[in-house]
Amino acid sequence: MKVLVTGVTGFIGGALVRRLVREGWNVSIVVREESDISGLTDVILYVDKFIYDGSTESLIEILSVSKPELIYHLASLFLSEHLPHDVTKLIQSNVLFGTQLLEAMSVNSVKKIVNAGTSWQYFHSSEYRASNLYAATKQAFEDILSFYSDKNSISQVTLKLFDTYGPDDKRRKLVNLVVNAIRTNVELGVSPGEQIIDISFIDDVVEEFYQCGKYLHLSSDCVSEAYFVSGERFTVKGLVEQIANAYGQQGNIVFGARPYRDREVMTLPEVSGKTSPWSKNRKITPLSLGVLKI
């Protein structure tokens, strides 16, 4: 299948590209001129790279040349908290680029897209309530996606992600920080640790995107759906304990060394009945095994 992927310089996007290449799919990627693609050196020769110059016209041309049957849209800018100078970047990355992509899909009659959403869109609620401006921009794009889907009969599925981890993850995420602290016995100060976290190993998340692409490819109907991608749930304290047990040493983790941040996510939305039909029999990678692969 011919696919086009955005967000390939990110942790999940890069892992997805590798999986698609292994499966023999015809993969095109979209990057900016200044994008750092050094993390894709193992697969870059097996994909077609296109440069996005910031304009709608460039995306129209890219889709005209690449002719994808399906688009994976994973590009986004994540900021848990924003400053005034971040507003433009968030809108450009999370709203404008995606809208330009949808317009290019419409012009080129590309009818299928898998979109990456976020659980941050559900702040202490099972209904939409943005945790931060990042989540609000993700919701804004979903609303625009719904319009294009309805107007142009575009089949779309949004996979709403919680936390992810795995090998070669360069992000300063909790699991990486804890693993490093345990390995080096360097002190790591964290919050009091009572908040709930839903964590998935990268291979499990990529499998969700891969199966979702197959699902859309085989669907003859125009679908408009959204599902959570859920793994295991722990309190942050419980997560640290699980990682420590996996490595057989406690590390120097200091709970309460920093306060909870503004609008800290303490509880998560219920996912029962809101996960994908293709994930029903999927076995998730236990955290106790996944962290040993980092």
Right CATH for 2-164+199-229 from 3.40.80.10, 3.40.50.300, 3.40.50.10800, 3.40.50.720:
3.40.50.720
Please provide residue 216's backbone torsions phi and psi, each rounded to the nearest 5 degrees: -70, -40
Share of the chain residues as helix, strand and coil, in percent rounded to the nearest 5: 45, 20, 35
Residues 254-267 have pLDDT tens digits of: 999 999 999 999 99
**Domain ranges for the chain:** 2-164+199-229, 167-198+232-267+285-293
- φ/ψ (deg, to 5) at 155: -75, 130
* Residue 249 banded pLDDT, cuts 50, 70, 90: very high
Name the token pair of 104: 């290019």
The answer to whether residues 81 and 261 touch, using CB atoms and an 8 Å cutoff, is yes
Q: Do 164 and 11 meet the contact criterion of CB atoms below 8 Å apart?
A: yes
Residue 24, CB-side half-sphere exposure with 13 Å CA sphere: 0
Q: What is the pLDDT of residue 79?
A: 96
DSSP 122: B
**C-alpha–C-alpha distance, residues 138 and 143, integer Å:** 9
Is residue 106 predicted with pLDDT exceeding 90?
yes
The answer, yes or no, to whether residue 150 has pLDDT greater than 90, is: yes
CATH architecture of 167-198+232-267+285-293: Alpha-Beta Complex (3.90)
pLDDT tier for residue 281 given thresholds of 50, 70 and 90: confident
Residue 282 pLDDT class (50, 70, 90 cuts): confident
Q: Which string of DSSP letters, residue by residue, matches 42-101?
A: TTGGGSEEEE--SSHHHHHHHHHHH--SEEEE------SS--GGGHHHHHIIIIIHHHHH
Mean pLDDT of 132-144: 98
- pLDDT of 137 > 90? The answer is yes
pLDDT score at 17: 98
Mean pLDDT value across the chain: 97
Q: Which helix (H) or strand (E) holds 19?
A: helix 11-22
pLDDT in tens, 202-214: 999 999 999 999 9
pTM for the model stands at: 0.96
